[in-house]
Structure 1
Amino acid sequence: MALAIERKRAEEALRESEEKYRMLVETTEEGISIDDENETIVFANEALARLLGYEKEELLGKRSFDIVYEEDLEKLKKEVGKRRKGKTSKYELRCVTKNGRIKTFLVSATPLYKEGKFIGSLSLMLDITERKTAEEELRKQKSYFQALFEGSPEAIVSMDEKHRVLDVNPAFTRLFGYTADDLRGKDLDDFVLGEDDRMGRMYTSKVINGEIVTAEGKRRRKDGSYVDVSILGAPIFIEGKQVGIFTIYRDITEKLKAEQEKEFYNSLLRHDIANKITVIHGNLELLKEEGLEEAQELFVNDALKAAQSSSELIDTIRKLRRIDTEQTMGALKLDDIISKVIRTLEHQAKNRGITIDYVPIKGVIRANSLIENVFTNIIHNAIIHSHCTTIRIRGMREGKQYKIIIEDDGEGIPQELKDILFEPRVKGKQSAGSGLGLYLVKKLVESYGGNIEVETKKKPMHGTIFHIYLPKFL
């Protein structure tokens, strides 16, 4: 009696164990398969069927080789050979799903024996497709950035979060003379900064504390000489944590030389030549008062015009230079600007029988004092060159900008000039100017973030229309 009870308990325990095992096999996220000695699938759980896109019944009877990607067949044959020798193995294997997609699995396979004879394999298959895709993408990105790093013409150094060198690119070695082996694990400042370069150490401190720094300065080479460089230093963050720093150096020696040379010639133009033209102009005016003969006076007048044109050219070049150097913008009233320009030019217009018809524009734009030159050039050109009787000026707001229309009823602009009107040195055949006025206008308007367009009215109407777009002051 006691023996029967004990046997029943053992059977119940076995059933419970089998049930737990079955539940584990069917609920796990890992694919599980059992193959016989011929690699024919005799068992597959729900997870494996789902991962491969089959019904469980469809997998039964298939050989493992039937679902393996062809390039991995040899690998599987080798792994099966190991199991036949009693070895457990772990490897990656690509399989083909029912719909043809390739998935990568991490396979843990164990040989099965019965009475010492190999009867098949038990395999646990973990889907690592997404992980492999991410790893491949990471590898590609790493290769891409490594190629950029190695091939960049700019000197680049990568460092850890404490400013210790990890690597330098070939351009860095060419510029400074140091190789990665010279610097690796060391603080870069100890090599490229001067002994008392407080500013350079302040820049380093800022980058270590998460700031981006751009600057220019001198940095020391391995041979002790110094080079002028522009500097971009930036922290590297991963998931909000600073893990490193990179710095890019560009040799600006030639740039600084060019700027110094440019400044020299600008100074020469602004002072020496301008002063000499003033002297010439003054002496010609004195000569004109000496009671010259008619032919002599014509020569003097031509010389005066040339001197005046040269002065205007120098003034225009000064203004063009200011566009590059003057960064300060402010709020300016359109009506104040245009009214001032009209007051300056209205006498000249009246002498030529021209009416300036202006409707005040109520608006505030973002610009600087050079904006007057935009309206002065366009209105003055209309007065001098267009042979018009009326110049109309209107304005309106369009979104975040103001559109100013300056229109005349003159002869219009020839088609061959219209397409190149805003290029430097372009002028009409009868013009004695420098050909820089409208070039200056376009440069100014674009420096404010605006745009300018021109059109010629067709018959029976004539004339030219300028559309000027300027950003409103926010």
Structure 2
Amino acid sequence: MKRGLLFIEEAIPELIFSDSLEDVYGIILSLMDKSSVFERHALYVRGSASPENISVLDEHSPKIVLDAAKAGREAGSGSERAAPVIVDGEVIAVIYAFQKEGQEENILGIIAELAAASIKNMEIKRKMGQSEKMYRAIIENAVEGIYVSTLDGQIIEANQALVDFFGYENKEELKKAGIHETYVNPERRKEFVRTLMEEKKVRNYEIEYRKKDGEIVIGNEFASLVGNGEIIQGIIHDVTELKKIQREVEFYNALLRHDMWNKNQVVMGYLQLLSDTGLSEEQNIFIERAKLAVRNNISLIEDIKKLFSARSRQAEEVDLDRAMENVINQLLHEADKKGISIYYMSSGIKVAGIPLLEEVFYNILLNSILHSKCRNIHVSAIRKKNLCRIKIEDDGVGIPPEIKDDIFSRKVSKSGGNGLGLYLSGKIVKMGGGSIGVKNRVENGNIKGAIFEISLPIQNDFKR
């Protein structure tokens, strides 16, 4: 820096750490007071002005000052000059000065630019401070455990939820222990870090942790590597109670299904023995009704089993043509008995679904065969962008208005059945990422049948 500008260089550190406009203006004026460059000077600012040598920038300001403010650039010539202080395209102040003879011509402009840079830097620091406060408030108030750690498990930062999750008194105590000490199985920690190193992130990573008091808890973790790949940012969701409830539900569900199945088989056996004892026609009618109730119970158990099975399986490719042909072949005998024809045109489409997708088609087709009083059922499938639209249409009596909106709920039951067939179908489709609906086919104001519509993701798009 030239000798005449050394006084500016000395003021730069002080300007960088300024916290207010008043500080910046004060430093600029002090800088100019101490210099041997200016004979006289003044500062004109937008809004109010209070310190000495600071005036309000308005219509009463000197012409040279107004010219600089209006043009947005330095004004004047010779020794008398005015330079605007511009921040984000707006003139917020003008520095006026009368320089001594022989001084740097652009020195006032340099000071104005330095003032503008200092004010801009101050605004950035203010916004960063606000962002940091907001960020910290969000982190501290989060119900999930959030942490930043090194690869070797040293905790750099953690929120209160994580401290509570591990059962420590405070953050310092948790930091001293380190996150690697919380793993029930140390090999899982190695696996976790290895996965992070390879993939840079982990999602839905379930880990058993040990709290300070020895209690085992389960966390579902999301984490990623940041910086130079040496820092881990993670979020741990406490799923201990959820896992406990899931295990209990699975246990009681299995127990209930097993016991109900066995008891139903016993009842069915006794009913069969009873029907072989030469009962009257009326008594046999009662026996058959009892058998029907037992069969419905058995069907209910199977439906519940299928629903649980569907929840636990991953989506996999389904050849729509093969699935539909399998279902139609199973129902041909039932359809023939009622004089119903089923038509299906191959589509060549493969969809994203689950192994129980055939159960959906079976339930809908069976519903039409048993209840629609139709003569024909037409099944078609077309591709629309990333979806497969499947339509199952009959020419029967349609869906009664009173049950149409609830047909995929557990409320609807037909012929004394358990009412889970179409409910199960709706659940399976939704778990496969699709949608299902029904409407009546209307011609000239008359109902001419029902149309079931199913939308499923195309397999390739689903994978992506």
CA–CA distance in 2 between the matches of 1:141 and 1:371? 49
Residue 243 (structure 1) shift? 5.6
Aligned counterpart, 2:186: 197
Q: Is the 8 A contact 2:327 2:358 kept in 1?
A: yes
Residue 150 (structure 1) shift? 0.4
Please point out which of 118, 123, 131 is paired with 1:141.
Answer: 131
Residue 446 (structure 1) shift? 2.2
Measured at CA, do residues 294 and 103 of structure 1 come closer, stay the same or move farther in structure 2, by a change above 3 Å? farther
What SS class does the counterpart of residue 457 from structure 1 fall into? strand
Measured at CA, do residues 398 and 298 of structure 1 come closer, stay the same or move farther in structure 2, by a change above 3 Å? same
Aligned counterpart, 2:423: 439
Measured at CA, do residues 265 and 36 of structure 1 come closer, stay the same or move farther in structure 2, by a change above 3 Å? same
- For residues 127-163 of structure 1, the C-alpha deviation after alignment (integer angstroms, 9 at most, x for no partner) is 3255445434433332222112100112222224653
Q: TM-score, normalised by structure 1?
A: 0.72
Q: TM-score, normalised by structure 2?
A: 0.74
Q: Is the 8 A contact 2:147 2:158 kept in 1?
A: yes
Q: Is the 8 A contact 1:111 1:122 kept in 2?
A: no
Structure 2 residue identity aligned to 1:140: Q
CA–CA distance in 2 between the matches of 1:420 and 1:132? 62
Measured at CA, do residues 306 and 103 of structure 1 come closer, stay the same or move farther in structure 2, by a change above 3 Å? farther
Alignment of 1:36-75 (within 5 A): 36=40, 39=53, 49=68, 53-54=72-73, 56-57=75-76
What SS class does the counterpart of residue 459 from structure 2 fall into? coil
CA–CA distance in 2 between the matches of 1:374 and 1:98? 62
In the alignment, structure 1 residue 354 sits paired with structure 2 residue 340: yes
CA–CA distance in 2 between the matches of 1:362 and 1:113? 89
In the alignment, structure 1 residue 381 sits paired with structure 2 residue 370: no
Please point out which of 314, 338, 358 is paired with 1:327.
Answer: 314
CA–CA distance in 2 between the matches of 1:288 and 1:113? 124
Residue 320 (structure 1) shift? 0.9
Structure 1 residue identity aligned to 2:432: Y
Aligned counterpart, 2:13: none
What stretches of structure 1 of length at least 5 have no aligned partner? Answer: 1-16, 22-30, 68-94, 115-120
In the alignment, structure 1 residue 393 sits paired with structure 2 residue 379: yes
Structure 2 residue identity aligned to 1:268: L
In the alignment, structure 1 residue 182 sits paired with structure 2 residue 173: yes
Overall identity of the aligned pairs, in %:
29
Alignment of 1:6-405 (within 5 A): 36=40, 39=53, 49=68, 53-54=72-73, 56-57=75-76, 101=90, 124-125=111-112, 126=114, 127-128=116-117, 131-160=121-150, 163-178=153-168, 179-184=170-175, 187-189=178-180, 191-194=181-184, 197-204=186-193, 206-207=195-196, 211-213=200-202, 214-237=204-227, 241-242=228-229, 244-330=231-317, 332-405=318-391
- For residues 5-58 of structure 1, the C-alpha deviation after alignment (integer angstroms, 9 at most, x for no partner) is xxxxxxxxxxxx9xx99xxxxxxxxx999682565899999xx95997256159
- For residues 264-310 of structure 1, the C-alpha deviation after alignment (integer angstroms, 9 at most, x for no partner) is 11211332211221222233223223221122112111111101111
Q: Is the 8 A contact 1:192 1:221 kept in 2?
A: yes
Measured at CA, do residues 230 and 384 of structure 1 come closer, stay the same or move farther in structure 2, by a change above 3 Å? same
Q: What do you get for the CA RMSD once the two structures are aligned?
A: 4.0
Query: Based on CA coordinates, which of the two structures has the bigger radius of gyration?
Result: 1
Q: Is the 8 A contact 2:76 2:82 kept in 1?
A: no
Structure 1 residue identity aligned to 2:200: E
Please point out which of 403, 411, 418 is paired with 1:425.
Answer: 411
CA–CA distance in 1 between the matches of 2:254 and 2:154? 45
Q: Is the 8 A contact 1:155 1:248 kept in 2?
A: yes
Aligned counterpart, 1:457: 441
